[in-house]
Amino acid sequence: MNEKFLGLGANGEEVEKSLDDFKGQKVVLYFYPKDNTSGCTQEACDFRDNLNRITKAATLIGVSPDSIKSHTKFKQNHDLNFLLLSDPEHKLAEKFEVWKEKSMYGRKYMGIERSTFVLDAKGNIEKEWRKVKVKGHVEEVLDYLSK
């Protein structure tokens, strides 16, 4: 997928990236609903705290529909040290089929289904986790990467 997405790099610099930019390397691509919410913050911090273990095997990329401005605050508030891509039009989310109808308190709305994918060096999905529960998820990813 050569479509470019605006994002924030590991050092907070604005970047334009396509998944094709990562061909030749394994990628952990995780989709999360919203910056600075409790579950998304916990998940991002769990990835941050284990980044050295993850990067031995793969590049880590987080994706949400939030704006670059929102990503900037999120990265600063939690010292996030990996790439976050902004997907406000849900193009990447739709490609991975994680833009779903959700329901809260009887109200239906569209949003991100928390999901993680491991992409092989050719960009193909090697492993996926859908409807992710935050607690223990990063350990599941690490276990898979260590095989």
Q: Catalytic site residue 40?
A: yes
Query: Do residues 47 and 136 touch, judged by C-beta distance below 8 A?
Result: no
Annotated active-site residue in 19, 27, 29, 40: 40
Residue 5's closest CA among 78, 88, 75? Answer: 88
Catalytic residues: 40
